[in-house]
Amino acid sequence: MATPEGDFRRSRSVPPYGLGPRGAVVGSQARVLGSLTIPGRPEQVARARAFVARTLSSHEVGTDHDTATLLTSEIVTNAIAHTKSGIEGGTVRIVVIGVPHGVLVEIIDDGSAGTPIVKGDLYAAEGHGLFLVHNLAAQWGYLRDPAGTTVWFHLAAAREQVSEQAGPQVVPQGVPKAGRPDQGTQLWAVHSATA
**Each residue of 143-192: pLDDT tens digit?**
999 889 999 999 998 765 544 444 433 333 333 334 433 333 333 322 22
Give the residue with greater pLDDT, 10 vs 104.
104
pLDDT given for residue 128 in this prediction: 75
Quick one: how many helices (H) and strands (E) in the chain?
A: 4, 7
Hey, what long-range contacts does 14-17 have (CB within 8 A, 24 or more apart)?
14/186, 14/187, 14/188, 17/99, 17/187, 17/188
What DSSP element (H or E) covers 136? helix 129-136
Domains, in order of start, for the chain: 18-162 (3.30.565.10)
95, 72 contact by CB (below 8 A): no
Contact 135, 93 (CB under 8 A): no
Which range is least confidently modeled, 16-30, 34-48, 68-82, 161-175? Answer: 161-175
Q: What proportion of the chain, given as a percentage, has pLDDT over 90?
A: 48
Asked whether the predicted pLDDT for residue 124 surpasses 70, the reply is no
Q: Which amino acid is at 186?
A: Q
Average pLDDT for residues 60-85, to the nearest whole number?
93
Its pTM stands at 0.70
In whole angstroms, what is the distance from residue 188 CA to residue 19 CA? 11
The burial class, CB within 10 Å (0-12 / 13-18 / 19+), for 71 is: buried
Cβ burial 11-47 (10 Å sphere, 16+ → b, else e): beebeebebeebbbbbeeebebbbebebebeeebbee
Mean pLDDT of the chain: 74
